Amino acid sequence: MIKTEDMTIISQQQIAQSIYELTLSGELVSRMGTPGQFVQLKIGTGFEPLLRRPISICSIDKERGRVTLVYRAEGRGTSLLSQYGKGDTLNVLGPLGNGFNLEEAAPGETALLVGGGIGVPPLYELGLRLAEKGVRVVTVLGFQSKEAVFYEKRFREFADVYIATADGTYGHRGFVTDVIKKEKLSYDVLYACGPAAMLRAIENTYPGSRVFLSLEERMGCGIGACYACVCKTKDERPGLNYKKVCSDGPVFRAGEVVL
């Protein structure tokens, strides 16, 4: 069930260029369970910024009642968020959205996780959960440069990891799809999260019924009421030709929506 709570900040630190890791504590964590979901954060106490900021859930620690979020500080809201510190509180709405389906990957199979930039965080909890159930996890992470790389060591604890940077300053030079092709990576199920251009390339290059894409989109309410994050589907029937990323997604099966 979705609810709001004033959660306490346990820690916040910068882990890469403009990238921050934020850990919160509260009862709301007990309601979180599906990798790929997100929360909406109210930043500040007044009307500015007006809208909550959607942040993907990176990892969940139910035993200690903690959730970790990783985000990029680039706009007014997230820049203000980066100034919060230990002991401060944030009003959190969640958990929101439909996440990744863990049942699609069976024990003994291989899951390929592909993340681009700030699309990397939601894949971390997914990878942990898949590895726990006996799925072999292979991860390809794409960044702009060496300074932007994060969570490589953490993914290596349970997965084979390949890094791509657009400028070639770390790992493979190029895009995540270049790495998949060069390394001849095979998989049974593919999960991806990142910018639309990356998701389009994956969908076009690796079609199949077991390919799942998590979309990044600007949102208003986060619960499907404002229609700010509508995307088209490939179903032309009236009333069925759109989906809301916040409530129908953010995870969709490849081919379900128009990227």
H or E element that contains 76: helix 76-81
Q: Which residues of 83-101 are buried (b: 16+ CB within 10 A; e: fewer)?
A: ebeeeeebebbbbbbbbbb
pLDDT of 198: 96
Phi, psi of 154 (to 5 degrees): -70, -40
Residues 6+ apart with CB under 8 A from 163: 140, 141, 142, 143, 149, 152, 170, 171, 172
pLDDT of 177: 95
How many Cα atoms are found within 13 Å in the side-chain-facing hemisphere of 170? 14
Task: Please state whether 143 falls in left (phi above 0), alpha (psi between -120 and 50) or beta.
Answer: beta
pLDDT of 238: 67
Q: What domains, with CATH codes, occur in the chain?
A: 3-96 (2.40.30.10), 102-216 (3.40.50.80), 218-259 (2.10.240.10)
Q: Which amino acid is at 159?
A: A
- Mean pLDDT, consecutive 10-residue stretches, the chain (259 aa), reads 94 98 97 96 82 94 97 94 97 96 96 97 98 98 97 98 97 96 97 96 90 87 82 73 87 90
pTM: 0.95
H or E element that contains 67: strand 66-72
